[in-house]
């Protein structure tokens, strides 16, 4: 059966059906999925039947998978699958998380962002699989950064075409209320990224920005942050966004180089939400083995 794409909005987002992605895929079927990703930016597969192992196996079609960071004193929830990033509100033991700092840390994911923009080595695709979902809320919202780029006022687009921004995970955490100062953020690693990225497959350009962006290179911090806030607000106008709600087994794939996303609210202290993500490095060979996230976090270990 051939792949069918049903658009979610006229230009952005599609539900895909007709392929069983829990089984080995032939190259033509994967090529059709990649074409759909290039066209739609975000694609949703419902009721996939995926588990950790088959989630990873399917994700490997897209390229090299990132290794989730080992953070000091925090065991992995999925120790046998280092490629699984835990996006749940659960502890490694499977209890609902109550640690205030971890709660605030995760709250940063509610802000518009692109995954891993704070890393020098960017992530292209994220593949998020639902295991347990809250009764209400807990959607993921997506913003179409290619259409937003195309609609930008000419003078702003010229800036976005030529300027760079510095990104820090810790800036988005600070915005979400995590206890950290600007001085501490400035003492931790940042990544310099272009403010727009051209997609080779389509020739379309996208704004590359988000809540990890702390500075625009060459502008005073306040002026840079004003531009960053303007771009995020512009790109998240209603005509550029939609939300995905989940049932267990649903998988959403997004292109971080063409979209932003944010997690939606839900009752985090009473409802379980178990979501697991694989993340595909931009332009890296599938067998490239390294672990820059753990290095990033160890360079960012708070001293207080």
Sites for Fe ion among residues 151-190 (CB under 5 A): none
Stretch that binds Fe ion, among 5-13, 115-123, 154-162, 293-301 (CB under 5 A): 115-123
5 vs 42, beta carbon nearer Fe ion: 42
Query: From the CB of 288, what's the least distance to Fe ion, in Å?
Result: 22
Name the helix (H) or strand (E) containing 144.
strand 140-144
Q: Is 115 a residue that touches Fe ion (CB under 5 A)?
A: yes
86 vs 115, beta carbon nearer Fe ion: 115
Query: From the CB of 254, what's the least distance to Fe ion, in Å?
Result: 9
115 vs 215, beta carbon nearer Fe ion: 115
- Total residues at interface with Fe ion (CB under 5 A): 1
Give the whole-angstrom CA distance, residue 209 versus residue 188. Answer: 19
Query: From the CB of 10, what's the least distance to Fe ion, in Å?
Result: 25
Query: From the CB of 258, what's the least distance to Fe ion, in Å?
Result: 14
Give the whole-angstrom CA distance, residue 90 versus residue 50. Answer: 20
- Ramachandran assignment for 77, one of left (phi > 0), alpha (psi -120 to 50 degrees), beta (any other): alpha
- Ramachandran assignment for 63, one of left (phi > 0), alpha (psi -120 to 50 degrees), beta (any other): left
Query: From the CB of 114, what's the least distance to Fe ion, in Å?
Result: 8
Sites for Fe ion among residues 277-296 (CB under 5 A): none
19 vs 273, beta carbon nearer Fe ion: 273
Query: From the CB of 19, what's the least distance to Fe ion, in Å?
Result: 25
Query: From the CB of 183, what's the least distance to Fe ion, in Å?
Result: 26
C-beta of residue 265 within 8 angstroms of C-beta of residue 135: no
Residues 6 or more apart whose Cβ sits within 8 Å of residue 301: 72
> How are beta strands 42-45 and 14-17 bridged, if at all?
parallel
Stretch that binds Fe ion, among 39-47, 111-119, 137-145, 293-301 (CB under 5 A): 111-119
115 vs 166, beta carbon nearer Fe ion: 115
Stretch that binds Fe ion, among 63-71, 113-121, 199-207, 234-242 (CB under 5 A): 113-121
C-beta of residue 64 within 8 angstroms of C-beta of residue 286: yes
Residues 6 or more apart whose Cβ sits within 8 Å of residue 131: 88, 248, 274, 275, 276
> How are beta strands 196-198 and 191-194 bridged, if at all?
unpaired
Q: Is 83 a residue that touches Fe ion (CB under 5 A)?
A: no
Q: Which residue is nearest to Fe ion (CB)?
A: 115
Q: Is 255 a residue that touches Fe ion (CB under 5 A)?
A: no
115 vs 255, beta carbon nearer Fe ion: 115
Give the whole-angstrom CA distance, residue 117 versus residue 112. Answer: 12
Give the whole-angstrom CA distance, residue 62 versus residue 47. Answer: 20
Residues near Fe ion, by CB under 5 A:
115
């Amino acid at each position: 059966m051939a792949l069918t794409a049903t658009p979610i909005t006229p230009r952005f987002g599609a539900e895909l059906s007709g392929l069983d992605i829990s089984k080995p895929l032939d190259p033509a079927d994967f090529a059709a999925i990649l074409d759909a990703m290039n066209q739609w930016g975000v694609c949703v597969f419902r009721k996939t039947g995926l588990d950790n192992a088959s989630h990873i196996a399917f994700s490997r079609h897209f390229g090299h998978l990132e290794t989730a960071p080992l953070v000091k004193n925090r065991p992995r929830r999925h120790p046998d699958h280092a490629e699984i990033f835990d996006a749940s509100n659960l502890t490694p033991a499977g209890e609902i998380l109550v640690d205030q700092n971890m709660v605030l840390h995760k709250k940063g994911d509610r802000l518009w962002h692109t995954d891993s923009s704070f890393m020098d080595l960017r992530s292209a695709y994220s593949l998020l699989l639902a295991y347990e979902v809250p009764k209400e809320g807990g959607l993921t919202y997506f913003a179409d950064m290619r259409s937003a780029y195309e609609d930008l006022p000419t003078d702003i687009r010229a800036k976005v075409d030529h300027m760079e921004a510095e990104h820090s995970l810790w800036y988005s955490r600070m915005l979400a209320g995590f206890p950290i100062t600007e001085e501490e953020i400035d003492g931790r690693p940042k990544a310099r990224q272009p403010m727009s990225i051209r997609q080779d497959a389509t020739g379309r350009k996208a704004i590359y920005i988000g809540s990890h962006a702390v500075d625009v290179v060459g502008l005073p911090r306040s002026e840079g942050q004003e531009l960053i806030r303007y771009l995020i607000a512009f790109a998240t106008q209603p005509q550029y966004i939609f939300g995905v709600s989940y049932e267990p087994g649903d998988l959403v794939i997004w292109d971080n180089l063409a979209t932003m996303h944010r997690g939606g609210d839900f009752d985090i202290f009473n409802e379980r939400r178990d979501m697991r993500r694989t993340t595909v490095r931009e332009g890296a060979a599938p067998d490239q083995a390294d672990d820059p996230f753990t290095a990033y976090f160890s360079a960012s270990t708070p001293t207080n």
